[in-house]
Amino acid sequence: MKHLSALLASAALVVASAPALAAEKWDMPLAYPATNFHSENAVAFAKCVAEGTGGNLEIVTHPNGALFSGNDIKRAVQTGQAPIGERLISAHANENPLFGIDSIPFLATSFEASDKLWKAAREKLTQALDEQNLVYVYAVPWPPQGLYFKKEVNAVADMKGIKFRAYNAATARIAALAGMAPVQIEAAELSQALATGVAESLISSGATGVDSKVWESLTHFYDVQAWLPRNVVFVNKDAWSALDDGTQKAIADCGEKAAAEGTAKSKALTDQTLKTLADNGMKVSEPSDQLKSELKAFGETMTQEWVDSAGAEGKAIIDAYKAM
Ligand code: PCA
């Protein structure tokens, strides 16, 4: 009898908890290829959330801009067309200068500095996203940004007239300052743009250079270490509010884990990917002293421009960062 009542009790439990077990499925658009470390990290994040919610929330990643192209992901999540997504946040600096804080040349050029800058900015950034109907979950920096060309470049004068692939306002501004012609291209279209000559240079990480096999079109990489831009993962605020506390906590905890693991991967890839560029025949080197100092001057101009556009709020973040 005891046995039977235990069976009945567990059957009742199954029935009672059945509605909660109807798993919710969230599509998560990503801009970068499936083999990119951010995309792999998002898959690990999704797995963590599935485990943390006992399978109640299934997040399905869609890499390479397949569901929404990079430039459309943020709006898609804001409007609820996708409940969650990942985006290179500096590509939206035109909406709010705060989103461009990670792409000010030579402000924060190491992982350590990037971490401090993000700590200084995070609360204000979270607020800015909240005002756009987005809930901040986690962010991971790309490896430091260097310059790719198909010829030797020792000074800004050597860059004049070159078609330069830009991925945000800061990269377009560098092109303008250097007398290059900027063309905005998503990473998913980069290989083709280089192959067809639509672009013939860029600033990016070794990771993206490897993802796009840029050695098929380009020859030189200069390890400038100009900044470390971030991909940010955010959730639509209405989708977030509809979740129970346990699910929200699982997402937040998995987000923290993803930030740490993604950053560790980014660090490890920094040298590894530059080696892969060299192994594939690219000339990987330090910029010349002249190029370095000319680029630093661009950095000073752009820092001033950023502070002018971001106002007191922006200046407070920079001051807090510098005091760390
Ligand atoms: N790769 C991305 C952004 C920064 C980076 O390293 C890209 O080039 O699109």
Which CATH architecture does the domain made up of 146-226+282-323 adopt? 3-Layer(aba) Sandwich (3.40)
The CA distance from 124 to 111, in Å, is 20
The CA distance from 102 to 111, in Å, is 11
User: Crossing angle for the helix pair 245-279 and 37-52, nearest 10 degrees?
Assistant: 160
* One-letter amino acid for residue 86 of the chain: E
Q: How far is the CA of 235 from the centre of ligand 1 (A)?
A: 22
CATH number of the domain located at residue range(s) 22-142+229-268 in this protein: 3.40.190.170
Start-end of CATH 3.40.190.170 domains in the chain = 22-142+229-268, 146-226+282-323
| Number of neighbours of residue 90 by Cβ within 10 angstroms | 22
pLDDT of residue 5: 52
Check whether 22 has a pLDDT greater than 90: no
* One-letter amino acid for residue 68 of the chain: F
Lowest-confidence segment of 6-10, 44-48, 308-312 by average pLDDT: 6-10
DSSP letter assigned to residue 91: G
The CA distance from 84 to 76, in Å, is 9
Name the band, by pLDDT with cuts 50, 70 and 90, for residue 23: confident
Tell me if 126 sits within 8 A of 136, measured CB to CB. Answer: yes
Q: Is 185 in the pocket of ligand 1 (CB under 6 A)?
A: no
C-alpha 310: how far from its chain's center?
A: 21
pLDDT of residue 16: 47
Largest CA distance in the chain: 90
pLDDT digits (tens, 9 = 90+) for 225-262: 999 999 999 999 999 999 999 999 999 999 999 999 99
Check whether 199 has a pLDDT greater than 70: yes
309, with CB counted inside 10 A (0-12, 13-18, 19+), is: middle
In this structure, the residue with its CA closest to atom 9 of ligand 1 is 187
pLDDT of residue 15: 47
Q: Which atom of ligand 1 is nearest to the CA of 229?
A: 4
Check whether 21 has a pLDDT greater than 60: no
Name the band, by pLDDT with cuts 50, 70 and 90, for residue 2: very low
Check whether 1 has a pLDDT greater than 70: no
Mean pLDDT of 277-282: 98
Query: In the numeric block, which tokens belong to residue 190?
Result: 């980069």
